[in-house]
Amino acid sequence: MKVIALNGSPRLVGNTSNLIIEVLDEIEKQGIETEQIQLYGYDLDPCNDCRSCEMRGDGRCIMEEDGLNDIVDKLREADGVILASPAYYGSCTGHMKIFMERAGLAMEMGDMGLRHKVGGAFVINAHDGGSLAYMQMVHWMLRNEMIVVGGRPAPILKALNSPQYQEDTQGMKGAMAMAREMAWTILRLNGLEME
């Protein structure tokens, strides 16, 4: 069993990457393997709606050279996927949006490769945009027919500089609840119980 977290932040070390580590640590407590993928480590080109993915029908984007298909192949093998992004200016980052457009369209026109995977999302924002960014990522997962788990309260955290996210006790409560719900759901789908 494995969960992969996609980090949409351009900062290698910051609020988003540090919270991903904490969320994945919570999931690992249940014996589930985890991995973090930094989307900004890839030079992803935007989708141009060429519809080659529709003609191919294999769930892959025709632009093979930038690594998007490699990421999607890893997600197909995982049991769970977390999308995490800061909201700098009212929505998720450009790299997260590019990923969602290209990967989503290629899979929708092909194999629906994330159907029935467990999904979760969280956002960190300094002022506003967290709710929109969260809903963008949740909508993407729902459109991919994933089983989406959440947290209570919603895992939308307020922070500017790391590790300020830890000061948002309600946001942290939501993020950790989402991690536990994700682990519980993956274990149940595999016929197992939480420890």
pLDDT in tens, 24-42: 999 999 999 999 999 999 9
Query: Is 53 domain-assigned?
Result: yes
At 14 the pLDDT is 95
Query: Is 195 domain-assigned?
Result: no
Q: What pTM was computed for the model? A: 0.97
At 156 the pLDDT is 98
Q: Is pLDDT at 195 greater than 80 in this prediction?
A: no
Q: How many domains does the chain have?
A: 1
Query: Is 95 domain-assigned?
Result: yes
At 147 the pLDDT is 98
Q: Supply the CATH number for residue 141's domain.
A: 3.40.50.360
Query: Is 194 domain-assigned?
Result: no
Q: Which two tokens stand for residue 57?
A: 């029908």
Question: Residues 108-129: pLDDT tens digits?
Answer: 999 999 999 999 999 999 999 9
At 52 the pLDDT is 93
Query: Is 14 domain-assigned?
Result: yes
Question: Residues 145-179: pLDDT tens digits?
Answer: 999 999 999 999 999 998 999 999 999 999 999 99
Query: Is 147 domain-assigned?
Result: yes
Structural domain boundaries, residue 129: 2-189
